[in-house]
Structure 1
Amino acid sequence: MAGSATNLDLNTNSSASVDMAAFTTTNAEVNASTSAGVTLSVKDNLHGKVSTSAKISLKNQPRNVQVDKSTSGRVVM
């Protein structure tokens, strides 16, 4: 998916893969669980939760990252 937005609200789970590497958003709320994978670019604020071996991969360094991590969940920049 390519494009841009001011705000993004994304929930994914159960081994889903969401490739938004060509998508840029100013603010994002991302919740990923159960081995899900999300790739995206966030300019300012990333909030959310990642758990149960899920991964959020960022193409850049947002100004503010507040993501709760549990059960091997991770955020990769």
Structure 2
Amino acid sequence: MLEITCNDRLGKKVRVKCNPDDTVGDLKKLIAAQTGTKWDKIVLKKWYTTFKDHIQLQDYEIHDGMNIELYYQ
């Protein structure tokens, strides 16, 4: 079980628990449930890497306690 911190740099900081074999789209849906936004309007980035919805978290080497930047379209 992973705990990932997502920060939008505007005052919202969300902690989400998920599994390593979940996809980025599943992570977006968990974030959307906590923030109240639509999941398809969320963009997840780490530096300049934009995460794609169909790829698993373990393939991006996202580990427990990792911080991800949260953007809105």
Q: Which has the higher contact order (CA 8 A, sep 6+)?
A: 2
Q: Calculate the TM-score normalised by the size of structure 2.
A: 0.24
Higher percent of residues as strand: 1
Higher percent of residues as helix: 2
Q: Calculate the TM-score normalised by the size of structure 1.
A: 0.23
